[in-house]
């Protein structure tokens, strides 16, 4: 049973909101409503589906972000270049059986799949979207659950983004997908990057939806040293029309290829995902991925087709998925963005 809602009125929040924080310096534990919504823009969200909650024992206060397939809100539509095409899923759906789950079918309108979103992004893009060549650390602690005991779909190849990083300046003929995305297709946490017209999955949780994770996440930790890195292959790469592809620039490095398949399950417990993001620069892009403060993989050199530089980075979190008759709650306990990892409680390797 979820804890009690202690704030519902977003009109009051926005009227009382202070000015946004300075560029790319955000630390939000979602325990102060006015502070949170002074920072986050809800123009792509349904205010009635955003609630501040407290765990029954008062151990956490968090933002609950609900998506409901029975509602018609927030279909972004084919707006270029402001919205991403969800494109095919990299996760192979589980086979449904008579005794197994019922696979949801994405709703269509005029022959096209309908999308729905409930996303938050930083206010004032001219101030809060940092230059692509300015390295930043991002950390997000979260959990996912079916609303009121509903099951998260584990089949049907439902496409579902829960956090994304995009360039702000894109032409309509560019690859408009996020250059880095945290996804939840078929209830499986995974991370993708874009290189040219190729989407590559670089980290994933195991396919078994019942994998358990550690019970708690410490807000201040010492990240482990990555150790000796070796070149590894992506877990899967597809074009947006579902053809296998080979990235032109992307190189991946991990201590062991099997580490790329060990992301935790946010359906089982709270998860903390941490990213080092340099989206451009003299030596190209670099994205480091950590899960519960364990190094997973480094992606170097990726660049989507048709992107011009200099550019800026836009970060969003929340639901963006195919519209299905299913309800789910994304619970977010903490988001931190900073050039200084120590501000986010991260002690990176030397």
**pLDDT over 90, % of the chain:** 57
* pLDDT value for 170: 84
**pLDDT over 70, % of the chain:** 83
Distances (CA, A) of 84 to 87, 176, 307: 9, 5, 14
**Strands across the sheet containing 180-183:** 40-41, 115-122, 313-322, 160-167, 180-183, 190-195, 198-204, 236-238
In angstroms, the CA 54 to CA 159 distance is 29
pLDDT tens-digit map of 45-75: 988 899 999 988 877 899 999 999 988 656 6
Segment 71-99 mean pLDDT: 68
Segment 152-173 mean pLDDT: 88
pLDDT at 314 over 50: yes
Question: pTM value?
Answer: 0.89
pLDDT at 10 over 50: no
| Among 191, 339, 319, CA closest to 277 | 339
Tokens of 269: 């417990």
Tokens of 6: 């202690």
* pLDDT value for 211: 54
pLDDT tens-digit map of 125-160: 877 899 999 999 999 999 999 999 999 988 876 799
Give CA torsion, residues 290, 294, 297, 298, to 10 deg: 60
Segment 2-28 mean pLDDT: 46
Q: List, in order, residues 6 or more apart from 79 with CB less than 8 Å away.
A: none
pLDDT tens-digit map of 181-216: 999 999 999 999 999 999 999 999 997 555 555 445
Report the sign of the C-alpha dihedral through residues 76, 40, 59, 4, in that order. negative
pLDDT tens-digit map of 227-279: 899 999 999 999 988 899 999 999 999 999 999 999 999 999 999 999 999 99
């Amino acid at each position: 049973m979820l804890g009690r809602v202690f704030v519902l009125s977003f009109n009051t929040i926005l009227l009382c909101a202070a000015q946004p924080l300075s560029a790319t310096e955000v630390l939000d534990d979602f325990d102060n409503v006015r502070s949170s919504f002074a920072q986050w823009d809800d123009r792509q969200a349904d205010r009635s589906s955003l609630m501040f909650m407290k765990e029954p024992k008062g151990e956490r206060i968090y933002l609950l972000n609900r998506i409901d397939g029975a509602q018609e809100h927030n279909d972004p539509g084919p707006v270029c270049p402001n919205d991403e095409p969800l494109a095919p899923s990299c996760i192979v759906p589980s086979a449904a059986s008579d005794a197994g789950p019922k696979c949801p079918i994405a709703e269509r309108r005029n022959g096209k799949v309908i999308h729905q979103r409930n996303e938050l992004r930083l206010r004032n893009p001219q101030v809060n979207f940092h230059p692509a060549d300015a390295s930043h650390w991002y950390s997000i602690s979260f959990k996912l659950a079916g609303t009121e005991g509903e099951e998260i779909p584990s089949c049907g190849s439902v496409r579902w983004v829960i956090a994304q990083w995009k360039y702000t300046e894109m032409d309509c003929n560019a690859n408009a997908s996020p250059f880095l995305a945290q996804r939840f297709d078929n209830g499986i946490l995974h991370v993708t990057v874009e290189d040219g017209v190729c989407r590559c999955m670089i980290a994933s949780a195991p396919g078994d939806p019942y994998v358990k994770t550690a019970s708690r996440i410490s807000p201040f930790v010492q990240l482990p040293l990555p150790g000796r890195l070796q070149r590894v292959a992506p877990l899967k790469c597809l074009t947006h029309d579902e053809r296998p592809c080979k990235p032109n620039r992307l190189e991946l490095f991990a201590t062991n290829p099997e580490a790329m398949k060990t992301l935790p399950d946010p359906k089982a417990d709270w998860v903390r995902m941490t990213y080092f993001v340099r989206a451009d620069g003299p030596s190209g892009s670099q994205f480091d991925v950590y899960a519960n403060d364990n190094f997973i993989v480094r992606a170097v050199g990726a660049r989507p087709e048709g992107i011009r530089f200099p550019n800026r980075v836009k970060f969003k979190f929340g639901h963006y998925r195919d519209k299905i008759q299913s309800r789910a709650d994304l619970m977010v306990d903490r988001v931190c963005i900073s050039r200084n990892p120590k501000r986010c409680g991260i002690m990176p390797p030397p």
